[in-house]
Structure 1
Amino acid sequence: MKKIFFFTALFVFAGNILLAQFFKKEEGLAHTFSIVARDAKTGEMAVGVQSHWFSVGTAVPWGEAGVGVVATQSFVNKSYGPKGLALIKSGKTAPEALQELLAQDEGREVRQVAMIDTNGNVNAHTGKNCIDYASQIVSKNFSVQSNMMLNNKVCPAMAKAFEASEGKPLAERILIALQAAQAVGGDIRGKQSAAILVVAGKSTGQIWIDRLIDLRVDDNDLPLVEMERLLKLFRAYEHMDKGDLATEKNDMKLAMEEYGAAMKMFPKNLEMQYWTAITLANNKKVKEAGIMLQKIYKQDANWRELTKRLPKVNLLTVSEMDLKELIK
């Protein structure tokens, strides 16, 4: 009995030493499903992921415009993200970068990683010690991968959904693929967080412009439902931005069309309503603006106070008489 106990303890001890070689507390766990993809028409590249783990978006997805995107998961080695992008930037293809990093990693058999570069070169790795069900499908301009899934249907469902959604914007296609994965079972533990990252195909050298979409749901019972809402909200604010640009060019017809499109998507959003009203006022449509503002004030009087402050910084350019009409 003592010998059995000794060898059992020795095995556990040795296993813990081995685990320590490829897993560090600061690296975290991300047993999950994800997709990396490229839009051949726009050149955009994206990563999408969902997991039963807090804030998966801070560990799995990495991307740089004009370079590529990376998904690193399972027993996460976060360095695959920045190091992989650096290798691609130095001239290696995504598959070459992945192989170089795997060759240097003693914990490669518990890693799951996928990379795609700006030319569409793509590859993935699923270590033999990733927890079942663990698999990957590498195809033209995308790769889907998953580990610790309820069943073996996740990757096929993701691949099929992504291919069938061709023609839609890349972020929406990513979301559709993630939703398909969840619909067939997803993570055996459930769901908690999700993320979608989209970067431009060509770099402008301005990160704040090149990172096109960066949405995260860190903790939610239905992370993909919340992600769908956030993505829709993002698109609505895109309409608001286009409306602002049209206003700057004095194209009021286009501005109101864009503002109207945004408000149609989120009719209860006071922010969208408010700045649409202010734009109307600045374009001498004070009566229409006043009607909108009065409805807003009834829901939240703070917007009236904000209106009073706008003339000081030239965001509201109306006469004193018109201002009184707008804040009554």
Structure 2
Amino acid sequence: MKKSLPFLLLLLCTAAFAQNSVEKTNISKDAFAHTYSIVARDANTGEMAVGVQSHWFSVGSIVSWGKSGVGVVATQSFVNPAYGPNGLKLMEQGKSPSEALAQLLSQDEGKAYRQVAFLNAEGETAAHTGDRCVEAAAHLTGQNFSVQANMMLKNTVVPAMAKAFQENAELPLAERVLMAMKAAEAEGGDIRGKQSAALIVVGAEKVENPWEEKKIDLRVDDHAEPLVELERLLKVARAYEYMNRGDLAMEEENVEKALEEYGNAMKLFPENLEMKYWTAVALANSGRMEEAKPLFKAIFKQDENWKEMTKRLPASGLLKISEEELESLTK
């Protein structure tokens, strides 16, 4: 695949600018993810998050790191991914963000090119912006947050992110982080434009299983409007949180609670057939067939596969209606 001329020129200029250091640090081999990001903690819930956006493919795959009950890390500019797992390990061992970051920087010959931010479960933060990071480059740290950016169009990006995070304290953490990123974009964001974004949220307490680590894990790897798409995905994720709570209520045979949760999901994502479907199932299982029938019929009209699905549910115990009712529903 051919690389674009501007991209090649940028790499050549970067190599010429850092010729002596390249030989010592192998910086030219590192991932190239100039970006803006935020690491943050919710003082009420203890949840921690990383939000990031860049004009680079799949920025979330290398920049954002987190571990429940421990902390979060954003590592960017010329990325050294080791800052993520190693920083989390040091904080888990009891080092403060400042101590952990200082230790890793002392071992990194390419620190002049790095931009890194650490945040721990107590809301303590530390950040580093190397003097070889491309302007506009800066960071701003405070209790429970750090915002950082490099290769920005304007030097107002970082303070705008901090202001937005502090002014939206009433929002859940994920939405609050998203507001900070939208503020960065409103100030011009990445000088090259936009391509990918990511958002992770981890919990306040340590977890036993690795699949429980992330409460939210969203990535937009390549999109014309990555923050718009990230916001849409977050809304869908919130809808499915309601669906999951509804499913748990169904398992506990608490139909009214399930209907409440499914209803909340449908309000957020009304065009989703699955959310309508399980609401209809919950209604049917509670003996409210006359309310369930119109929902089933509307779903079957859009996609007849759901009708076949309905015929299969009684055998699994998920749909508890009589054979006559099932026949009436699916004829």
In the superposition, the TM-score normalised over structure 1's length comes to: 0.92
Q: Deviations over 1:220-247 (max 9, x none)?
A: 1000001111111111111112222233
> SS at the partner of 2:52?
strand
Mean CA deviation greater in 175-184 or 239-248: 239-248
Mean CA deviation greater in 119-128 or 257-266: 257-266
1:202 corresponds in structure 2 to 205
2:176 is aligned, of 173, 176, 180, to 173
1:245 is aligned, of 245, 248, 268, to 248
Percent identity reads: 57
1:156 is aligned, of 154, 159, 162, to 159
1:44 aligned onto 2:72: no
1:68 corresponds in structure 2 to 71
> 1: distance between equivalents of 2:16 and 2:238?
52
> SS at the partner of 2:257?
helix
2:225 is aligned, of 210, 222, 227, to 222
> 1: distance between equivalents of 2:320 and 2:287?
9
Query: Structure 1 unaligned runs (5+)?
Result: 1-11
1:53 aligned onto 2:48: no
1:123 corresponds in structure 2 to 126
C-alpha spacing 1:160/1:22, structure 2 compared with 1 (3 Å): farther
C-alpha spacing 1:13/1:295, structure 2 compared with 1 (3 Å): closer
Instruction: State the Cα RMSD in Å.
Output: 1.6
C-alpha spacing 1:14/1:43, structure 2 compared with 1 (3 Å): closer
> SS at the partner of 2:175?
helix
Any conservation in 2 of the 1:286–1:326 contact (CA below 8 Å)?
A: no
> 2: distance between equivalents of 1:274 and 1:165?
35
Residue 155 of structure 1 aligns with an amino acid whose one-letter code is: V
Q: CA deviation at 1:289?
A: 1.8
2:4 corresponds in structure 1 to none
Q: CA deviation at 1:257?
A: 1.9
1:263 corresponds in structure 2 to 266
> SS at the partner of 1:73?
strand
2:27 is aligned, of 23, 26, 32, to 23
> 1: distance between equivalents of 2:28 and 2:238?
38
> 2: distance between equivalents of 1:256 and 1:13?
63
Aligned residues: 316
C-alpha spacing 1:116/1:13, structure 2 compared with 1 (3 Å): closer
Q: Deviations over 1:172-197 (max 9, x none)?
A: 10000000000110000000010011
Q: CA deviation at 1:100?
A: 0.3
> 2: distance between equivalents of 1:226 and 1:14?
36
Query: Structure 2 unaligned runs (5+)?
Result: 1-14
2:89 corresponds in structure 1 to 86
Mean CA deviation greater in 261-270 or 220-229: 261-270
2:9 corresponds in structure 1 to none
> 1: distance between equivalents of 2:27 and 2:197?
22
1:95 corresponds in structure 2 to 98
